[in-house]
Amino acid sequence: MLVQQRTIKKPVSLSGIGLHTGTQCTMTFRPAPENYGIRFRRVDIGGSPEIPADVDHVVDVARGTTLGIGDVRVHTTEHVLAAVVGLLIDNIIIDLDGIEPPIGDGSAKPYVDVLQEAGFEMQEAPKDYLVIDQMVEYKDEKRGVHIVALPTDDFRMTVMVDYNNPALGSQHTGIFDLEKEFVPEFSMCRTFCFLHEVEQLRDAGLIKGGALDNAIVIADKDLPDEELRRIADKLGIKESIFLGGHGQPVNNKTLRFKNEPARHKLLDMVGDLALIGVPLKAHILAARPGHAANVEFAKIVRKLYQQKKIVKKYQHEKKQGVVFDVTALQRILPHRYPFLLVDKIVEFKLNERCVGVKSVSVNEEFFQGHFPGAPVMPGVLIIEGMAQTGGILLLDGSDTNDRLVLFMGINNAKFRRQVVPGDQLVYELTMVNRRSKVCTMRGEAYVDGQLVCEAEMMATIVDRPKIPQA
């Protein structure tokens, strides 16, 4: 696998109509600087607004993956993204003068061809791979979808499709070397649908640019010639339509591979997983994937990537069983002796949960007065320790040096038992609600598995006041 980022050497363009909108569009690929990522740019709109290719900007997944920002949209991005990722391109600008990329022949090959024509340029910055080190899983029991990412030292993908339709049956495929296999084995695999879906899709406002030369239509029911002609007229198809054998493409179109539908599903998934925003080292196993499931899985993995990025930013030394040690905590929190009341963070799930640990020593300063001869940790300091752990839970990748977390309210605080020297406090903070700069968390503190304190807390994030220089 490549270790450095790369872009293309020169701009290249192609034109055509979009599959679903039926609108004309010219798309131009342009070189981009290091760490730029993949971005679509609508040059037909004032200011040429940019849409980053990530799951945070997915606005629709109806028979394709649509990205948007504000009122600006780019439809059916998956084949373009598959071509970019399949060619191991990290940084690229994709200009469009319309709402949907040209569909070409329904595969990623037209985009691959022009990108290869542009050539590739290696950049100085290293690739920022996301290494999957534990199983990541997504399930949709209702649709029978199951997607898993497993640890491995490269990128692999295995896909199984089964539509419970005897016209297609069950198919599977796999890619084990993206650099060698994507272009010759997968890039030319075309989008497809069943004959019984065609009218439904058109009535739903889709496939306005669909034709028999940019999609495979699989015959899954017998229709008389007059019915086929009616469907063709409705779709604006001028050529005659005829059925071959059951389960064969309409008009006896030749499949490029026996399992071309499964291969196209893999291609779609490569494109959708580009929305994670970083190349993977993982083995992806997918049963019955589709755009909606792909995007939900990508959200899970992107969140893991953002979490790992935050940990890497503050924790410079890996320690078994520790997410943030006390040195990392001092990089994040403004608190110092004698008011830093967390020793380490042992669990951190972005915007979900954070677990901190505080070992209570008889040397704590507050025991001198609370109480002489009967040392008891003040309940307000247990709440403060939970609050500091909650401050870690609010990490989102932005610079903590410019922000302060201020608590706005503490509700339903209860103290269940005393905390004394020699105890080890475990603070468990769970996100209840987060909106913009205000959030609500539930905190619980335990000693030896017994609940000692609980409370609900509301906090806000504010800009840190600037200290005037002397």
Catalytic site positions: 291, 370
Task: For residues 83 and 97, give the distance between their C-alpha atoms in angstroms, rounded to a whole number.
Answer: 20
Distance CA 246, CA 303 (A): 44
- 280-287/192-194 β-pairing: unpaired
The Cα 399–Cα 382 span in angstroms is 27
d(CA 48, CA 2): 32
Neighbour tally for 197: CB within 10 Å: 17
Quote the CA–CA distance of 298 and 407 in Å, as a whole number: 33
β-strands 38-42, 50-52 pairing = antiparallel
- Contact criterion met (CB below 8 Å) for 85 and 274: yes
Identity of the amino acid at 81:
L
Contacts of 33 (CB under 8 A, 6+ apart): 7, 91, 123
Distance CA 274, CA 90 (A): 10
Alpha carbons 258 and 321: distance in angstroms, whole number: 49
